[in-house]
Structure 1
Amino acid sequence: DETADSDAARFPINRIYYGPPGTGKTYELSKLLKREYEQAMTSVSKEEWQNQFVGEKAVGLTWWEAAAAALYQLGGKASVDTLLNHPFMKAIAVAKSANKNVRNTVWGALQYHTIESSETVKMSKRMAPAVFDKLPDSSWILAGDWEDAAADLKKLVDEYDAGPPSAEYIKRYSFVTFHQSYGYEEFVEGLRPVLDGDTETGEIHYAIRAGAFKDLCRKARLAPDQQFAMVIDEINRGNISKIFGELITLIEADKREGAVNAISVTLPYSGESFSVPANIDIIGTMNTADRSLALLDTALRRRFEFVPVMPDARDEPGAPLAGLRVSMGEQLV
């Protein structure tokens, strides 16, 4: 019932579509996602699009890249305070929440990547690319061969300034597939090896990175008036207790942010206080040939509604059995 789905999507829902193989679960899910969680660019404001753009493309920049992009967007000159208030820098600061001293980190990135001929920065160690210089008034500018070194960053900023392209759609969902090796670190947060280009040594170290669900929660908070979806294919193939961890309680509708019984927990890696936004739906698919419904984790069964998907015999484009013809004796069915 498409009308019922439309109404339910306005509130946090936890739903699993289940059935035997080839019954159209993916087909039904794709229609739901297109109807409820995609939005034409023509109906999206520039500010809303820019928030999502920053959340998807700028958040993965290193500190020096974010500083260079912000300087370029600000006309090539800015103070550290101005840089710290730039949307790119704010997004990275949120993503790297374990870093409690962002100002010092940004100062370090600027100085490590300062040109050798600088008269105001006297650090003995420098790192490539050298794209910054500091003026006597303590403001920073782009310098050296920054145009070549930051060519991709310029394109990123130009795309950001241009606003939403009219021929595209915003997709407000993330898609993951559970399997036996999938864990909490991929779904919520965990340690990842990274090559840090913003430190003196440039060595590999481990950083806390958000998983698919935590990252979607961050995006959902940037657009509280829109509905988002976490889509989990083959949800019954994963170890639910291992993957969800303490979040299994937070996903209940009355435990979400702003709800009457709202709950937050402290995440084990980052130490952040975390709760689940009310504008995120969790939608899974389950192949009953892999594991029966009765064998599912009890905690999962209590928190999800289960929608059976029986074989879809409709003959229309995209339907699982579209175009299929079976002969029974002399009769074509």
Structure 2
Amino acid sequence: MPDTSIHKPTNIIYTGVAGTGKTYRLLQIAKQYTDYLPRANDEDLLKQLLQALSWRDVVCLIFLDLQSNHQDLVKVPEIVSHEFFVAKASQNARESNLSSTAWLELRRHSPADSKTVSFENRASQAYFDKDNSGAWYLLPESMALLTGLSQQLEEFQQAKRDNNTSQNQVFSQQRFSMVSFHQAYGYEEFVEGIRPVMAASSQSNNLNNGASQMSYAIQDGAFLTLCQRAANNPKQRYAMLIDEINRANVSRVFGELLSLIESDKRTGMANAMTINLAYSGRTFSVPANVDIYATMNTQDYSLAPLDMALRRRFRFVDCPPQPELLPMISFNTKEVEAPKTFASDDSEIIDLARLLTGLNRRIIETLGVDSQLGHAFLFSVTSLEQLQSALVEQIIPQLAQVTGGQVSALQYIFKDAQQPLSAQFIQDSQALVANDENHQIGMKNNLTAQGQVLSGHNSWLGQSMNTGGYKINDDLVTKTGEFTKPITYQRLY
């Protein structure tokens, strides 16, 4: 678990085969980056929201708040009377010239090519413009710069709703973001990208004044948004949680940030680096109070070319199977007992820990350590029926995939080679056909002796032949026969 008192950035990837609890670790880490705080009243929430904001931020926040209520065009009196503006004025002990303050911020942050706003000392970044009716609107291209403010507003609005609907006096505040990588996940979702934005028409003479129009703007992704929150709150630690990091093209997802995430390249560190982002061109550096945790399935080799690049930036923590966490199934009581030592020889007990250990020992001998089964495959098993289902629906299909369906390998893993067909977990289809042929030939000879050979019998025998391959024992599927006996499973130890 992370120690949030340590200020050196943490980059860790938890590695292991499927079912070893890697994602569970991320969920446990998320709790370490969650604050459970006394619920504040609406006035306190408003104070917390506005405390560190500039007048420009407050005006932007007002536009975002009104947009959430489907109002895109705003006039100055509405801005000055908004609760955010009133509360900020109160915090600053301001009572006069409030309209002038609003006008100044709007004009200073208008675009140089505005057709309706004249101003000499404009700021370098534009946020607002005015239409011919005198109503102001938020520039669509500025939305990418306001992701952090948008999230703060959402948290404020949610906290107010919780105050109105919940009797709970405690609320949670998350200082993490969790994503799952996949083949289509890219830089645009993680860092920044161009996405469609709905904005109101700025033409006052438009018959559909106020109707939404689609434009495209650069918007922040999950990691950039988290970094902005962390930069605004440097006394707290934040975490980026990535599940299945090797499912995506990591170099494409991180882009130029792959160098910035190194511990000594963070903001304020010895070798701090700043780069210009690919789409917006903004300067950016990863805050030192952002930790990165990820999971990686070692059975997926798609990450191999990037292994060395990642190892320079992450610590790798192995997550092996933990069979000791598994219980025992008692045939007498049909209940699960607490884990025992491997010395138990009770004939009415199936020790799931020993069963998984035995399977994995033979898997390693046959396929290697990266093909082992994680304890999660059996973690929720509490009865014989559930064990049978886990074998049929999860474990055997998993092993069939990694062995390429090779009957000899599967039978070795399940110790089937010396067992009668009726007790084999994995059956050889050709052996079944041969056994069936012998049975049919015996029947044919018997019928011939009685002069009762059926004319279509030979053609039926030919149709029963197949090309071979593995087959799960029908009795295991139907939970009958030898698979109702403890000894059938105990031999897997």
TM band (smaller chain): 0.5 to 0.7
Once residues 50 and 315 of structure 1 are traced to their aligned partners in structure 2, the CA distance between those partners, rounded to angstroms, is: 48
The alignment-based identity, stated in percent, is 37
Is 1:32 matched up with 2:89? Answer: no
Q: Which residue of 1 aligns with 2:181?
A: 178
Once residues 303 and 171 of structure 2 are traced to their aligned partners in structure 1, the CA distance between those partners, rounded to angstroms, is: 38
**How is 1:189-204 mapped onto 2 (pairs within 5 angstroms)?**
189-197=192-200, 199-200=202-203, 202-204=212-214
Given that 1:229 and 1:281 are in contact with CA atoms closer than 8 Å, whether structure 2 keeps it comes out as yes
Given that 2:74 and 2:135 are in contact with CA atoms closer than 8 Å, whether structure 1 keeps it comes out as no
Once residues 66 and 28 of structure 1 are traced to their aligned partners in structure 2, the CA distance between those partners, rounded to angstroms, is: 50
C-alpha change, 1:308 and 1:6, in structure 2 (3 Å) is: same
Shift of 1:81: 2.6
Q: Which residue of 1 aligns with 2:135?
A: 112
Given that 2:191 and 2:222 are in contact with CA atoms closer than 8 Å, whether structure 1 keeps it comes out as yes
Once residues 32 and 224 of structure 1 are traced to their aligned partners in structure 2, the CA distance between those partners, rounded to angstroms, is: 19
Shift of 1:302: 1.6
TM-score by length of 2: 0.47
1:79 to 93, 99, 118: 99
In structure 1, the gaps of 5 or more residues are 91-97, 115-151
Cα distance per residue 1:291-325 (max 9 Å; x no partner): 27644443222211111112234269xx9454535
Given that 2:239 and 2:290 are in contact with CA atoms closer than 8 Å, whether structure 1 keeps it comes out as yes
Once residues 129 and 297 of structure 2 are traced to their aligned partners in structure 1, the CA distance between those partners, rounded to angstroms, is: 48
**How is 1:152-163 mapped onto 2 (pairs within 5 angstroms)?**
156=157, 159=160
Amino acid corresponding to residue 233 of structure 1 in structure 2: D
SS state at 1:299 partner: helix
Q: Which residue of 2 aligns with 1:329?
A: 487
2:191 to 188, 191, 201: 188
Shift of 1:331: 8.9
TM-score by length of 1: 0.67
Q: Which residue of 2 aligns with 1:278?
A: 288
Q: Pick the structure with greater CA Rg.
A: 2
Given that 1:234 and 1:285 are in contact with CA atoms closer than 8 Å, whether structure 2 keeps it comes out as yes
Cα distance per residue 1:179-204 (max 9 Å; x no partner): 11111111111111112126337532
SS state at 2:301 partner: coil
Q: Which residue of 2 aligns with 1:15?
A: 12
SS state at 2:241 partner: strand
C-alpha change, 1:8 and 1:72, in structure 2 (3 Å) is: closer
Shift of 1:233: 0.9
Given that 2:14 and 2:319 are in contact with CA atoms closer than 8 Å, whether structure 1 keeps it comes out as yes
C-alpha change, 1:167 and 1:299, in structure 2 (3 Å) is: same
Given that 2:239 and 2:293 are in contact with CA atoms closer than 8 Å, whether structure 1 keeps it comes out as yes
Once residues 133 and 231 of structure 2 are traced to their aligned partners in structure 1, the CA distance between those partners, rounded to angstroms, is: 30
Given that 1:64 and 1:109 are in contact with CA atoms closer than 8 Å, whether structure 2 keeps it comes out as no
Given that 2:326 and 2:379 are in contact with CA atoms closer than 8 Å, whether structure 1 keeps it comes out as yes
Once residues 182 and 65 of structure 1 are traced to their aligned partners in structure 2, the CA distance between those partners, rounded to angstroms, is: 37
Q: Which residue of 1 aligns with 2:38?
A: 42
Given that 1:192 and 1:208 are in contact with CA atoms closer than 8 Å, whether structure 2 keeps it comes out as yes
SS state at 1:11 partner: coil
C-alpha change, 1:60 and 1:113, in structure 2 (3 Å) is: closer
Once residues 291 and 8 of structure 2 are traced to their aligned partners in structure 1, the CA distance between those partners, rounded to angstroms, is: 8
SS state at 1:241 partner: helix
Given that 1:70 and 1:83 are in contact with CA atoms closer than 8 Å, whether structure 2 keeps it comes out as no
SS state at 1:6 partner: coil
Shift of 1:166: 3.4
Given that 1:71 and 1:78 are in contact with CA atoms closer than 8 Å, whether structure 2 keeps it comes out as no
Once residues 109 and 330 of structure 1 are traced to their aligned partners in structure 2, the CA distance between those partners, rounded to angstroms, is: 84
Given that 1:71 and 1:83 are in contact with CA atoms closer than 8 Å, whether structure 2 keeps it comes out as no
Once residues 193 and 282 of structure 1 are traced to their aligned partners in structure 2, the CA distance between those partners, rounded to angstroms, is: 29
Once residues 26 and 159 of structure 2 are traced to their aligned partners in structure 1, the CA distance between those partners, rounded to angstroms, is: 35
Is 1:299 matched up with 2:327? Answer: no
Given that 2:179 and 2:241 are in contact with CA atoms closer than 8 Å, whether structure 1 keeps it comes out as yes
SS state at 1:174 partner: strand
SS state at 2:3 partner: helix
